[in-house]
Structure formats: structure tokens, C-alpha cells
Amino acid sequence: MSTSSEQPQHLSQKMFYQGRKFAFDVSRLRLPNGAEGEWECVRHPGGALAVPVTPDGKFVLVRQYRFAAEQRLLEFPAGTVEPNEDPFTTVEREIQEETGFRAHRWQNLGQFYLAPGYSDEIIYAYLALDLEPLEHPPAQDEDEDIELVLMTAQELEQAIFQGAPIDAKSICSFMLAQKALQQSADG
């Protein structure tokens, strides 16, 4: 049995695909117990997500078609962190493009791995408050077909527990936001 401080030895790595949003590679590793194997990984620069809340307490989500899921999913606005871009810059841009709102107050909700079994993608989550509708919102990316959806916390929670098509990063970020909003209400 190995101790938790021991790291696998990286023996080789082969890049199979390099796209505009992610790369795919296979690495051969020797584990601390001596076993060797191959692991596939989707390399992603990370994403930034906003949990926008209107002054009357409604959560602002988007519903958009996701090719991999072959259906429209309910999500919080998010986007890929561009090369050399700070995640906060990403999330400020994405909330405006996808929702037509600007937030005047932000709270960092933290970061988490999206699917560490096969990807190194990290999601940077932020709570977006004091929303203001933009007079001239920026155009959505041409490969996006987005519908704006406003829901109360209770409606969103009910949708989650009823199995509505909602992505995992949005469910996780909703839970983080609920905790942050409760803490700020408590004082």
C-alpha cells in the first residue's frame, strides 16, 4: 500500500487531439505500488460561472442546446477561460453576453474540478448580485442559442430534485450560492 504523499511516475504522454477548446491525451504512469497503466485525459483551460441573482431574489439561468447531451440544458451562464485570462474577466464577459445583465457586486464561491476522472477542467464559481439590465448587451456567440430563464430558489431546487436536465456545475454552484446567501442574510 502506498502513502498519500507518493505520486505516480509519468512514463510517457501522447497527444491525440488539439482543438480550439480542449485537447485529448493519453499518459502512461507507474503508480507508487509498481502497477503501470494508461490514463486518458481531456485537457481544458477551465471555465468561469456566474450565479446571478436579481434584486427580487430570482436566479438567472440560461437554457441552451448541448450537443453531447443531445438536449437543451438549464445552466448558469458560464464560459471557457481564454489563454492568459483571469477567470473573473471571463465571468464578467459571459454574464453580459448570455443574460444581458451586469453585476455590481461579486462574491467568489470557490473552485472545483468538473470531472476529474477524465478531465483537468476547473470551474471558478462566482455569485453575481446587484444586477442591472444592459441597455445594449453584447451579442451572443454565434454558436449559442440561449433562452433566459428566471427561477426562485424553491423552483430551481424543485427542478433539481425532480431530475430536470440541469448540468452538474450549475447544481454545485447553486448549493454554494445558497450557503453564501444564507450567511450574508444571517449577518
Q: Establish if 3 belongs to a structural domain.
A: no
**Length of the chain (residues):** 187
What range does the domain containing 157 cover? 47-113+121-186
27 and 95 assigned to the same domain: no
17 and 98 assigned to the same domain: no
* pLDDT, tens only, 119-134: 999 999 999 999 999 9
pTM: 0.89
The answer on pLDDT for 143 being more than 80 is no
58 and 32 assigned to the same domain: no
22 and 64 assigned to the same domain: no
59 and 108 assigned to the same domain: yes
13 and 57 assigned to the same domain: no
Percent of the chain with pLDDT over 90: 86
Q: Establish if 1 belongs to a structural domain.
A: no
CA-nearest of 146, 135, 65 to 101 is 135
109 and 133 assigned to the same domain: yes
67 and 38 assigned to the same domain: no
38 and 128 assigned to the same domain: no
Q: Establish if 77 belongs to a structural domain.
A: yes
* pLDDT, tens only, 58-91: 999 999 999 999 999 999 999 999 999 999 999 9
Count structural domains, the chain.
Answer: 2
The answer on pLDDT for 107 being more than 90 is yes
Q: In angstroms, rounded to a whole number, what is the distance separating the alpha carbons of residues 113 and 148?
A: 26
167 and 126 assigned to the same domain: yes
Q: How confident is the model at residue 5 (pLDDT cuts 50, 70, 90)?
A: confident
The answer on pLDDT for 141 being more than 70 is no
Q: In angstroms, rounded to a whole number, what is the distance separating the alpha carbons of residues 137 and 6?
A: 50
Return the SS3 of 161.
Answer: helix
The CATH number of residue 152's host domain is: 3.90.79.10
- Sheet of strand 9-18, all strands in order from the earlier edge strand to the far edge: 9-18, 23-30, 36-43
